[in-house]
């Protein structure tokens, strides 16, 4: 996949996915409207060994400036790039290719992050997921707790309740794959 994405380049890949992205945007808008403000949240937990939460979150802060690293996190990452103080992410959400925006990693720090599980303020992140026009379609909340010989990551996603548990579960599996890949890469790049 990396070779294909590299050869096509971001603009050509996004052009090829234009119809799927439009369908994904329509899907998210419909879910927001149908949910009447009700949301559902899921959390997955990862345990990392041989790297601290501080080192990993520092590495990820730098990685947000490297699209190649972010894309390598998951095969279903089609485009992740920063522009105008926010990050545009094009990835699969459930059965849909979706384009949404969130804050850059360093701008999503949660010094008083109430509601995050086992939060250590310096290692928590929270961001809304918004469409290009600013429509809020969900949020993520992540915390990284230092532990002996490593850290624990609590990765949460909140979506409109009408998305259903299968879409939340899909994204939790997505989180598990991408964060595992990023943790392994961060540990290897010591």
Local structure of 22: helix, strand or coil: helix
pLDDT in tens, 47-80: 999 999 999 999 988 887 778 888 888 888 888 8
pTM of the model: 0.86
Which DSSP letter does residue 72 get? Answer: H
Q: What is the pLDDT of residue 107?
A: 47
- The segments of the chain whose pLDDT lies below 70 read 104-122
Q: How far is Cα 92 from Cα 73, in angstroms, rounded to an integer?
A: 13
pLDDT of residue 118: 45
pLDDT of residue 119: 44
Contact yes or no for 89/80 (Cβ under 8 A): yes
The pLDDT assigned to 44 comes to 97
Position 10 scores a pLDDT of 83
* Helix, strand, coil percentages, rounded to 5, for the chain: 45, 35, 20
Residues 6+ positions from 138 with CB-CB distance below 8 Å: 39, 100, 128, 129, 157, 158, 159, 160
| Cα end-to-end distance, the chain, whole Å | 26
Report domain 2-188's class. Answer: alpha beta
């Amino acid at each position: 996949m990396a070779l294909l994405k590299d050869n096509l380049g971001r603009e050509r890949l996004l052009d090829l996915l234009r119809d799927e992205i439009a369908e994904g945007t329509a899907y998210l808008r419909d879910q927001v409207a149908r949910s009447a403000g009700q949301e559902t949240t899921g959390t997955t937990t990862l345990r990392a060994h041989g790297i601290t939460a501080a080192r990993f979150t520092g590495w990820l802060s730098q990685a947000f400036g490297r699209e190649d690293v972010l894309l390598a996190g998951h095969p279903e990452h089609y485009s992740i790039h920063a522009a105008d103080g926010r990050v545009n992410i094009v990835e699969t959400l459930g059965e849909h290719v979706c384009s949404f925006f969130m804050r850059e990693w360093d701008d999503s720090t949660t010094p008083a992050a109430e509601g995050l599980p086992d939060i250590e303020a310096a290692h928590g992140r929270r961001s809304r997921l918004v469409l290009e026009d600013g429509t809020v379609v969900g949020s993520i909340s992540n915390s990284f707790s230092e532990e002996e010989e490593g850290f624990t990551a609590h990765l949460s996603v909140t979506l409109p309740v009408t998305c259903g548990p299968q879409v939340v579960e899909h994204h939790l599996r997505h989180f598990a794959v991408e964060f595992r890949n990023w943790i392994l890469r961060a540990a290897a790049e010591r």
